[in-house]
Amino acid sequence: MNLLLFGPPGVGKGTQGVRLAEELNIAHLAMGDILRTAVREGTESGNKAKGYMDAGKLVPDDVVVSMIEERILQDRESGFLLDGFPRNVAQAEALQLMLQRHGLHLDHIVFMDAPEEELLKRLSGRIICRACGFGFHRHYSPPQKEGVCDRCGGELYQREDDREDVIADRLHVYHEQTRPLLSFYEQQEGFARIDASGAMDEVLEKLKRVVND
């Protein structure tokens, strides 16, 4: 099964993407995580991406399209869940052509939404494991031991782009470039829209209902 989750920053794409991909035994392809790994490893793509990411801007399309294509091809047998790609209409068109070229398609396309006030609370409290990338929240889902990942014991940190000023820029970019994906996808087969403002388990149940339909 191949899925796409899209929606604003902080809506829970990563949180739910990890859980849903585990349930369905498919690969979780999170564009932000793939880019952060490339930055950490100092690859050519990572070096190109870093400045855009720190400023909350979109990394150029040619960089992200080739990175995601490589991962999709690696995981085409097991199936995959796309999180954070595409993020504008040009990327959505590139994805459509790429999937056609490889004889693949998306079974479900889910738009997740929540009020901006909730997104701000989620982003400003987010802490992430440096080693495995698992996400926690200072108030909503704190780790058992402060600063330490429950899953792998790694160190937890706050993302550079989760500073208040950068969050505002990311939300602006979302409204300008990513929200228009709604008109691109809403008439397509497999499209669903869910209210992701509830508790994590509630949101997961909604997503499971969509994919089991």
179 is catalytic: no
The binding track of 93-122 with respect to ligand AP5, each residue x by CB under 6 A or -, is: -----------------------------x
Interface pick for ligand AP5 out of 80, 85, 111, 185 (rule CB under 6 A): 85
Beta-ladder partners of 30? 83
Q: What is the largest CA-CA distance in the chain?
A: 47
Which of 36, 50, 87, 122 is labelled catalytic?
Answer: 87
In which residue are the tokens 């209902």 written?
209
Residue 11 binds ligand AP5, judged by CB under 6 A: yes
Instruction: Kindly name the residue from 57, 121, 159, 163 that is annotated as catalytic.
Output: 159
The residue within the footprint of ligand AP5, chosen from 87, 109, 110, 129 (CB under 6 A), is 87
| Count of residues interacting with ligand AP5 (CB under 6 A) | 36
The beta-strand segments (E) located in the chain are 2-6, 27-30, 80-83, 108-113, 126-129, 135-137, 156-157, 191-195
Going across the sheet that includes 27-30, the strands are: 27-30, 80-83, 2-6, 108-113, 191-195
DSSP strand pairing (135-137 vs 126-129): antiparallel
Q: Does 52 bind ligand AP5 (CB under 6 A)?
A: yes
Q: What is the distance between the terminal CA atoms of the chain, rounded to a whole angstrom?
A: 13
Q: What is the closest distance, in whole angstroms, from the C-beta atom of residue 61 to ligand AP5 in the complex?
A: 7
Q: Specify the residue, 4 or 24, whose C-beta has the smaller distance to ligand AP5.
A: 4
Told to check if 157 binds ligand AP5 by CB under 6 A, we report: no
Chain centroid, CA 171 distance in Å: 14
CB of 136 to ligand AP5, least distance (A): 6
Q: Are 190 and 111 in contact (CB under 8 A)?
A: no
CB of 55 to ligand AP5, least distance (A): 8
Q: Please give the single-letter amino acid code of residue 116.
A: E
Binding residues (CB under 6 A) for ligand AP5: these are 9-15, 31-32, 35, 52-53, 56-59, 64, 84-87, 91, 122-123, 125-126, 135-137, 140-141, 161, 170, 199-200, 203
Residue numbers annotated as active site: 13, 87, 126, 159, 170
